């Protein structure tokens, strides 16, 4: 059966016209260079919505001055084909001129959950994320937005923003999708994985193995955050390419405590550079907790 390619819009007014009377609209915001993690978000949207919109926009506001904005992978033609295979109806690919016209001077700053972890490592990052996502939500006006839980802190930031600013959209968190491919099995899917060759991807699985070591220590009865963290560090220290940013265990408010409780929403978060590429991952502290 032939797959119908989605219509691609750059003009938000034309997109909104196409969305009139299209029932429940599901929205998946992305920066493109789509992988199966993105496709999973789209399939979730397809299953629960009448119409699915995917946005593709590499947002300059969320990149720091020494980050990979210029080299971030871009391939709209390829992305449209991936979107088609996942059942997307419309692709919104706005230009910089639409998103940030001359004189643009407004930023959305989320306090608390945005001030730690990646908020410290990447100053301004979450302000850029919150600003672009609020603009996209205002332009698309969906009923549901689907966000990948690999970016756990980002989801927390966007949930806070949506709640605080009374944005009328339902947030649907979608569990992390991991590689099933041989030596790289377990690696969290990410567009930045494209910077790594096969051997490097296999070695990057040290991140997910470290998270599972923390889970195992917790399952064995350990409750000291320092001791749990050490279980993960032992795994990470075996890979000389790891340049660790953070490995931490946080509660639902992204706060770390000296001793963890048996809260099913406790989460292990990690960020590190391997082979010059910054990767993030997370897992529930309890292997039987929320995915």
- SS in 3 state form for the chain? CCCCCCEEECCHHHHHHHHCCCCCEEEEEECCCCCHHHHHHHHHHHHHCCEEEEEECCCHHHCCCCCCCCCCCCCHHHHHHHHHHCCCCEEECCCHHHHCCCCCCCCCCCCCCCCCCHHHHCCCHHHHHHHHHHHHHHHHCCCEEEEECCCHHHHHHHHHHHHHCCCCCEEEEECCCECCCHHHCCCECCHHHHHCCHHHHHHHCHHHHHHHHHHHHHHCCCCEHHHHHHHHHHHHCCCCCCEEEEEEEECCCCCCCCECCCCCCCEEEEEEEECCEEEEEEEECCCCCCC
Query: Using one digit for the tens of pLDDT, what is the confidence trace for 117-151?
Result: 999 999 999 999 999 999 999 999 999 999 999 99
Binding-site members for (R)-pantoate are: 62, 154
Binding-site members are: 31-38, 62, 148-151, 154, 177, 189-192
Same domain, 33 and 145: yes
pLDDT of residue 287: 80
Task: Choose the final residue of a domain: 139, 174, 209.
Answer: 174
Binding-site members for beta-alanine are: 62
Q: Is residue 290 domain-resident?
A: no
Q: Considering 9, 15, 26, 38, which one is annotated as catalytic?
A: 38
Total-model pTM = 0.95
Residue range(s) defining the domain that contains residue 168? 7-174
Average pLDDT, rounded, for the chain: 96
Given a cut of 70, is residue 2 above it in pLDDT?
Answer: no
Same domain, 218 and 98: no
Q: Is residue 85 domain-resident?
A: yes
Same domain, 72 and 160: yes
> Active-site residue 38, yes or no?
yes
The percent of residues above 90 in pLDDT, for the chain, comes to 95
pLDDT of residue 3: 74
Question: In the predicted model, what is the mean pLDDT of residues 78-97?
Answer: 97
pLDDT of residue 291: 67
């Amino acid at each position: 059966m032939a797959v119908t390619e989605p219509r691609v819009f750059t003009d938000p007014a034309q997109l909104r016209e196409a969305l009139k009377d299209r029932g429940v609209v599901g929205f998946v915001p992305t920066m493109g260079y789509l992988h199966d993690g993105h496709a999973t978000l789209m399939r979730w949207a397809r299953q629960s919505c009448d119409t699915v919109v995917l946005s593709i926009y590499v947002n300059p506001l969320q990149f720091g001055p020494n980050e990979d904005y210029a080299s971030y992978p871009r391939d709209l033609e390829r992305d449209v084909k991936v979107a088609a295979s996942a059942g997307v109806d419309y692709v919104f690919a706005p230009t910089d001129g639409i998103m940030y016209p001359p004189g643009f001077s407004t930023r959305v700053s989320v306090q608390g959950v945005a001030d730690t972890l990646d908020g410290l490592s990447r100053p301004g990052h979450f302000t850029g994320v919150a600003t672009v996502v609020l603009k996209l939500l205002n332009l698309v006006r969906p009923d549901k937005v689907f966000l990948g839980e690999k970016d756990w802190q980002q989801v927390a930031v966007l949930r806070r923003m949506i709640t605080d600013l009374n944005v009328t959209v339902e947030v649907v968190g979608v569990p992390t999708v991991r590689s099933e491919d041989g030596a790289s099995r377990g690696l969290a899917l990410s567009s930045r994985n494209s910077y790594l060759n096969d051997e490097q991807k296999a070695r990057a699985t040290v991140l997910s193995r470290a998270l599972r070591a923390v889970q195992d220590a917790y399952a064995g009865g350990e409750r000291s955050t320092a001791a749990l963290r050490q279980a993960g560090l032992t795994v990470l220290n075996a890979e000389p390419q790891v340049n660790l940013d953070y490995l931490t265990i946080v509660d639902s408010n992204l706060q770390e405590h000296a001793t963890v409780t048996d809260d099913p929403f406790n989460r292990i978060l990690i960020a590190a550079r391997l082979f010059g590429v910054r990767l993030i991952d997370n897992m529930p502290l309890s292997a039987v907790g929320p995915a």
